[in-house]
């Protein structure tokens, strides 16, 4: 196998295999560690769904029963002494009861009029006083619960109907009575409504009793055995859906859950237990609706079995992935190597002296062959012939950088076809003004300069210029003139600058400024001309944007800066730094405006602006570093001397100082101050918690933390929203309440433990904060 192909395959395989191994191990570890939690969550969801299904059925039955109770039919019948002769009323009542069957599990329903002595069910009518379950119904009427309650055990119904007042061994017992007795042996639960629903007396007028088969409720329980067994306990802790066949293991689980629920009053939870040597995970939910407890139990051994399955699955998946990775790596490596192979074979015809391909990498061989290829004169000429334009621009750049002599220029100028017959020269330097108010962004600057360079190349005749070039952030053009009159050349240069400025604004909607050098004769003086045009552009500091300036028109004289001006600027710089430290934005803006006014009003030359302002920038940088910050991280890339030196106008400088320099510094210093305040407040709170039973004050905290007490008081109030003394008193009173609840200590002892030398002062403070005296608080708590 070729060397590079082997390396490519090895790298591809290792690069893909490492994530597979990592993902496989991490997946298995996460799955094995979290699978028990997932089972817990799954069981809890099963219990919640089971609870919702059961309670939905019960609440639906409750609602339809309430509608039946409040119907005019029932309200009218409750005040009537019905007999078997009142067939229509009895039938309507029985039909209403039958319509309560919102689902198939309702076995029977009874409407019992306690005052008028009659009872109606699905298929029978009789006297309440002769009903077989008369004592049961009477007990329901005396039940201490509210107007609605559920009976889940001890449900045994007797005979009802027209023959209910006959002896139990009567020979003429009806077939309907026999059917009722036959079904009463089925386990069921009962919903009991006391009528009226909002009672006005202690004894209800009537009862509505609805029987639901246990099997119907049991059918609502999830049968997903993978998540364990699900049970439902009533308020008394009985598994009323499987009480007769409930094994001892389940009873032990039920007792543990009931103890947990009654001890914690939590609506849901999870516990691990061992019953008869079996480790179980038990989830439970307590229903606030009817007090039933829903339980799910799953074996821990079953959970761990799933982890083993995951381990084997993970192993086989990783093995398959390794095989696929090897195949794809080999196939992909060959595909990636094929162009290298073709290139290697293509360059085989190039002979390299001393090269032996058997012991070299393919890329090394190709590199040496290309070196030989590019060193030939033919290839070099072909390359140069396609780069004439770039070479012309490169030549002009060397001219502006002072790297050409007169002799070099004469030779190169003739080679590239530059103008060779002129009397005067001049330099136009164009710069883009601020892009903030244009439709362009800073990332477009290079592209805009390139477009401007092309516009200049089209506007100025080729015989009157050298190739326009881009130098730094400027577009520079060397203009020639056949006239020896300097005024005429200045007018031509100004006219050309006006034309360029107008066309740039027309095509690009962009404002530019142009600086014009003094006329000169020798082409090697282009370096000086370029410098003069840049110097002319600096007038934008005072004249603003979109200007055309001749170097001769600017006041190049520099006034000596008075000592008083320098002293004033130093004072304003110190005031600015202090305002920054305080985070006072308004003060910073006001002092900086005075600083700018002092520079402008004193007539300081614009060339001295950067030198003066760099001192202020250095102080701002130093302030950030003193606070432990990094200038680059806090201020960003734009807050640099290099970026500052590219600013062209006073407005740009003011905007840069306020937005790029001052705003991030103030935000950083405020953040540092807030962090320091929070740390101090947390330390003071910790001292209160540790020394509440000792004499502690702001002075003591100041001695420990090495801060002035007044400063600590202000910081604590700012961060905690409460005075230090109030916080200390509140914490001590909370401790006092805890001791009053959990101990038999005397009030004087508690006061002493809280460093109150005067018990009366402790009682007064306790009553002020809690609202009652310590003795009253203890009595109230004991009564609960």
Q: What pLDDT is recorded for position 351? A: 62
Position 157 scores a pLDDT of 43
Peptide bond into 196 cis (omega under 30): yes
Predicted pLDDT of residue 556: 47
Residues 530 and 616 grouped into a single domain:
no
Position 605 scores a pLDDT of 59
Residue 593 resides in a domain: yes
Q: Do 688 and 603 share a structural domain?
A: yes
Question: In 10 A of CB 10, how many CB atoms?
Answer: 12
Q: Is residue 523 domain-shared with residue 612, that is, in the same domain?
A: no
Q: Answer for the pair 298, 39: CB distance below 8 angstroms, yes or no.
A: yes
427 with 476: CB under 8 angstroms?
yes
Question: What was the pLDDT predicted at 374?
Answer: 67
Residue 523 shares a structural domain with residue 573: no
Say yes or no: 528 and 410 in one domain: yes
Q: Is residue 592 part of a domain?
A: yes
Q: What is the pTM of this model?
A: 0.39
Same domain for 542 and 583, yes or no, is no
> Quick one: pLDDT at residue 171?
39
Residue 566 shares a structural domain with residue 438:
no
124 Rama class: left (phi>0) / alpha (psi -120 to 50) / beta: beta
Q: Are residues 601 and 650 in the same domain?
A: yes
Residues 639 and 498 in one domain: no
Q: In the prediction, which pLDDT does 178 show?
A: 36
Query: Which domain does 257 fall in, by range?
Result: 225-304
658 shares its domain with 509: no
Same domain, 580 and 476: no
Q: Are 112 and 206 in contact (CB under 8 A)?
A: yes
- Over the chain (784 residues), the average pLDDT of each successive run of 10 is 71 77 77 72 82 86 87 88 87 87 76 90 88 88 81 54 37 35 61 80 84 83 69 82 66 79 80 78 84 82 70 80 80 75 70 57 71 63 63 82 77 74 88 79 86 90 88 89 85 90 89 89 86 80 76 59 63 76 76 75 61 75 71 71 68 78 75 65 84 85 82 81 88 90 90 87 90 89 78
d(CA 399, CA 422): 17
CA 241, distance to chain mean position in Å, is: 47
DSSP 562: P
pLDDT for 576 equals: 77
Do residues 286 and 417 share a domain?
A: no
Neighbours of 432 (CB within 10 A): 23
Q: How many domains does the chain have?
A: 3
- Position 429 scores a pLDDT of 92
Compute the distance between CA of residue 250 and CA of residue 430 in angstroms, rounded to an integer.
92
Rg (CA), the chain: 49
CA angle 92, 94, 99 (to 5 degrees): 95
pLDDT (0 to 100) of residue 522: 86
């Amino acid at each position: 196998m070729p060397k590079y192909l082997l390396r490519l395959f090895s790298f591809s395989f290792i690069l893909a295999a490492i994530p597979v191994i990592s993902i496989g191990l991490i997946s298995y570890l996460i799955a094995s560690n979290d699978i028990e939690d997932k089972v817990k969550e799954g069981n809890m969801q099963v219990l919640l769904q089971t609870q919702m299904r059961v309670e939905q059925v019960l609440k639906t039955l409750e609602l339809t029963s309430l509608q039946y109770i409040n119907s005019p039919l029932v309200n009218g019948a409750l005040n009537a002494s019905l007999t078997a002769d009142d067939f229509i009323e009895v039938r309507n009542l029985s039909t209403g009861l039958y319509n309560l069957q919102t689902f198939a599990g309702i076995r029977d329903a009874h409407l019992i009029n306690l005052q008028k002595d009659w009872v109606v069910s699905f298929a029978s009518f009789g006297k309440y006083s002769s009903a077989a379950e008369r004592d049961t119904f009477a007990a329901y009427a005396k039940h201490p619960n509210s107007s609605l309650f559920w009976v889940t055990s001890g449900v045994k119904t007797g005979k009802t109907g027209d023959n209910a007042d006959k002896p139990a061994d009567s020979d003429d017992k009806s077939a309907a009575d026999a059917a009722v007795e036959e079904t009463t042996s089925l386990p069921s639960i009962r919903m009991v409504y006391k009528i009226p629903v909002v009672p006005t007396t202690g004894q209800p007028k009537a009862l509505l009793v609805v029987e639901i088969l246990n099997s119907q409720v049991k059918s609502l329980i999830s049968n997903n055995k993978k998540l364990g067994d699900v049970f439902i306990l009533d308020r008394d802790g009985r598994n009323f859906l499987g009480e007769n066949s409930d094994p001892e293991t389940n009873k032990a689980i039920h007792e543990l859950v009931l103890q947990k629920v009654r001890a914690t009053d939590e609506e849901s939870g999870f516990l691990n237990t061992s019953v008869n040597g079996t480790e179980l995970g038990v989830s439970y939910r307590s229903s606030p609706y009817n007090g039933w407890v829903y339980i799910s139990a799953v074996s821990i051994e079953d959970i761990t079995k799933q982890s083993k399955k995951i381990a084997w699955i993970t192993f086989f998946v990783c093995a398959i992935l390794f095989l696929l990775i090897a195949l794809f790596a080999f196939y992909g490596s060959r595909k990636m190597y094929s162009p290298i192979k073709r290139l290697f074979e293509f360059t085989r015809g190039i002979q390299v002296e001393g090269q032996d391909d058997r012991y070299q990498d393919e890329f090394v061989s190709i590199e040496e062959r290309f070196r030989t290829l590019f060193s030939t004169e033919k290839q070099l000429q072909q390359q140069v012939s396609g780069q004439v334009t770039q070479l012309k621009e490169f030549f002009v750049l060397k001219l502006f950088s002072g790297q050409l002599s007169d002799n070099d220029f004469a030779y190169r100028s003739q080679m590239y076809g530059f103008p060779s017959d002129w009397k005067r020269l001049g330099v136009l330097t164009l710069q883009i003004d601020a892009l903030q108010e244009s439709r362009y962004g800073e990332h477009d600057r290079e592209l805009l300069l390139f477009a401007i360079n092309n516009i200049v190349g089209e506007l100025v005749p080729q015989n009157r210029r050298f190739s326009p070039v881009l130098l730094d952030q400027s577009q520079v053009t060397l203009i020639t003139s056949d006239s020896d009159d300097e005024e005429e050349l200045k007018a031509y240069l100004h006219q050309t600058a006006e034309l360029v400025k107008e066309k740039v604004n027309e095509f690009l909607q962009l404002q530019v400024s142009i600086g014009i050098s003094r006329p000169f004769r020798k082409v090697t003086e282009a370096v000086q001309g370029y410098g003069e045009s840049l110097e002319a552009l600096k007038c934008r500091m005072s004249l603003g944007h979109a200007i055309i300036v001749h170097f001769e028109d600017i006041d190049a004289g520099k006034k000596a800066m008075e000592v008083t001006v320098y002293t004033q600027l130093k004072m304003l710089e110190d005031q600015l730094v202090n305002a920054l430290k305080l985070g006072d934005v308004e003060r910073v803006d006001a002092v900086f405006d005075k600083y700018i006014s002092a520079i402008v009003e004193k007539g300081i030359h614009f060339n001295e602006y950067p030198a003066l302002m760099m001192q202020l920038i250095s102080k701002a940088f130093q302030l950030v570093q003193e606070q432990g910050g990094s200038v680059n991280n806090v201020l960003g890339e734009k807050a640099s001397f290099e970026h500052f030196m590219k600013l062209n106008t006073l407005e740009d400088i003011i905007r840069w100082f306020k937005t790029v320099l001052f705003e991030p510094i103030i935000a950083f210093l405020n953040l540092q101050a807030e962090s320091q305040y929070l740390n101090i407040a947390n330390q003071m709170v910790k001292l209160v918690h540790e020394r509440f039973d000792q004499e502690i004050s702001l002075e003591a905290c100041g001695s420990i933390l090495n801060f002035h007490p007044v400063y600590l008081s202000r910081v604590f109030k700012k961060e905690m929203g409460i005075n230090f003394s109030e916080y200390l008193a509140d914490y001590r009173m909370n401790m006092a309440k805890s001791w009053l609840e959990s101990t038999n200590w005397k009030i004087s002892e508690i006061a002493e433990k809280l460093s109150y030398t005067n018990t009366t002062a402790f009682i007064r403070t306790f009553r002020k904060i809690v609202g009652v005296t310590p003795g009253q608080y203890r009595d109230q708590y004991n009564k609960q």
